[in-house]
């Protein structure tokens, strides 16, 4: 094992210890109170987690995505919301690193590596979720600036974030529509940018999910991601590959947490004179849960490895996200069944996992969208000549 591999393995172990010592003892209370984990975020900053995939030349750790998904899984094992705060930031940084100009990388990545100024992604709108091409936000060129007008929904880090990647229409007449879209880097404090509201969610508590309103927000042309208009849709889809791999890792982490709780409870809860873990019905559940978690983990790491090689990975990312999110929903339900009546109470964490799991089914594209992406890629791959 080379020195770099050892360093990355040690980083994963450090985050695992951090989750055990710092996150697990407080996650339940923070989640129940729907409180932003300011102290935990501060500690993650000093650990360098917000700089995980940012290249070393810009002050980051320079981790590959295979290492990053392991970090995300560990954080999600402790509290899924914590990984959401990190991921949206990492996703925006990855977009800047991959598609930004040299000036944009030098201007934004070092401050993002410090973790104090965190990123947020602005894609979805009231009438444009899975159908990204239906966005109505506009960006109109005026001299050396653009004026942005519109509203974005479901923005993670919308309140506490500082640098937003915003998808807007720069050419309303373009056909197909995606060729008329561009991404702009908009900083908090820009006149006309405001938070409209935050959403009270079923799960995914403690992390701000907000509506951002853009009213004649003037952005310099230098903040157009990349060097020309019309690249935004492609840039967003490449970013969502990272997001989907991340959601797959989150789902794996939540499922692992549910399994850990279930197998521990099964050895402590007695029925008919013996631990329920000795009943064959429970053993079958545990075996299936563990196997599916491992399968999701391997799918996620395969997608991350392909992304690291610079190869197109939308098929693998879609498969990982689709399988892991559906698996997570099933595993947490089985964990709740193993806990019996106690699993339905807020006294046990399995109730939280059950509320968090549906987020992975819809976040970064629904399971139905993933299925379409997978099918289209497979039909292209196996096309009859």
Q: Which residues are catalytic?
A: 364
Residue matched to tokens 């990123």: 119
Contacts of 377 (CB under 8 A, 6+ apart): 314, 315, 318
82: Cα separation from own chain's centroid: 10
Rounded to an integer, what distance in angstroms lies between the CA atom of residue 162 and that of residue 208? 13
Give the list of residues 6+ apart from residue 300 with CB closer than 8 angstroms, or none: 69, 73, 245, 248, 249, 252, 320, 324
Q: Pick from 368, 311, 381, 281: which is nearest to 65 by CA?
A: 311
Strands (E), the chain: 119-122, 138-142, 145-156, 163-169, 181-187, 193-198, 209-220, 270-271, 274-275
Q: Which residues of 158-174 are buried (b: 16+ CB within 10 A; e: fewer)?
A: bbbbbbbbbbbbbeeee
- For residues 309 and 307, what is the distance between their CA atoms, to the nearest angstrom? 5
Which run of H or of E encompasses 27? Answer: helix 24-33
CA distance between the termini of the chain: 44
Residue with tokens 């960006």: 139
Q: What is the DSSP letter of 189?
A: T
* DSSP structure class, residue 344: G
Length of the chain: 385
Residue 85 near residue 93 (C-beta atoms within 8 A): no
Q: CB count, 10 Å around CB of 368?
A: 12
């Amino acid at each position: 094992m080379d020195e770099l591999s050892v360093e990355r393995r040690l980083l994963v172990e450090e985050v695992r210890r951090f989750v055990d010592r710092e996150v697990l003892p407080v996650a339940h209370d923070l989640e129940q109170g729907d409180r932003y984990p300011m102290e935990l975020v501060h500690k993650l900053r000093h650990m360098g987690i917000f700089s995980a995939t940012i290249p070393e030349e810009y002050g980051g750790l320079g981790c590959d995505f295979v290492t990053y998904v392991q970090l995300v899984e560990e954080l999600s094992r402790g509290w899924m919301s914590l990984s959401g705060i990190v991921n949206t930031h990492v996703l925006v940084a990855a977009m800047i690193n991959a598609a930004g100009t040299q000036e944009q990388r030098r201007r934004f990545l070092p401050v993002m590596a410090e973790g104090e100024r965190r990123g947020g992604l602005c894609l979805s709108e009231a009438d444009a979720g899975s159908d990204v091409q239906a966005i109505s936000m506009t960006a109109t060129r005026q001299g050396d600036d653009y004026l942005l007008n519109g509203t974005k929904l479901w923005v993670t880090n919308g309140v506490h974030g500082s640098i937003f990647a915003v998808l807007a229409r720069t050419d309303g007449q373009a056909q197909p529509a995606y060729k008329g879209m561009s991404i702009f880097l908009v900083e908090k404090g820009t006149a006309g940018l405001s938070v409209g509201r935050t959403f009270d969610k079923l799960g995914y508590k403690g992390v701000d999910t907000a509506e951002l309103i853009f009213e004649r927000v003037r952005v310099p042309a230098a903040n157009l991601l990349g060097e020309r208009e019309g690249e935004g849709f492609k840039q967003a889809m490449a970013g969502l590959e990272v997001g989907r791999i991340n959601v797959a890792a989150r789902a794996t982490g939540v499922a692992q947490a549910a399994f850990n709780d279930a197998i521990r409870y099964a050895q402590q809860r007695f029925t008919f004179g013996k631990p329920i873990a000795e009943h064959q019905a429970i053993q079958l559940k545990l075996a299936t849960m563990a196997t599916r978690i491992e399968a999701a983990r391997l799918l996620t790491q395969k997608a991350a490895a392909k992304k690291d090689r610079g190869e197109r990975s939308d098929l693998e990312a879609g498969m990982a996200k689709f399988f892991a999110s559906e698996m997570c929903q099933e595993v947490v339900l089985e964990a709740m069944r193993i806990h019996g009546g106690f699993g339905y109470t807020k006294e046990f964490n399995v109730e939280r996992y059950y509320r968090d799991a549906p987020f992975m089914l819809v976040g970064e594209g629904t399971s139905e969208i993933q299925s379409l992406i997978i099918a289209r890629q497979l039909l292209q791959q196996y096309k009859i000549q």
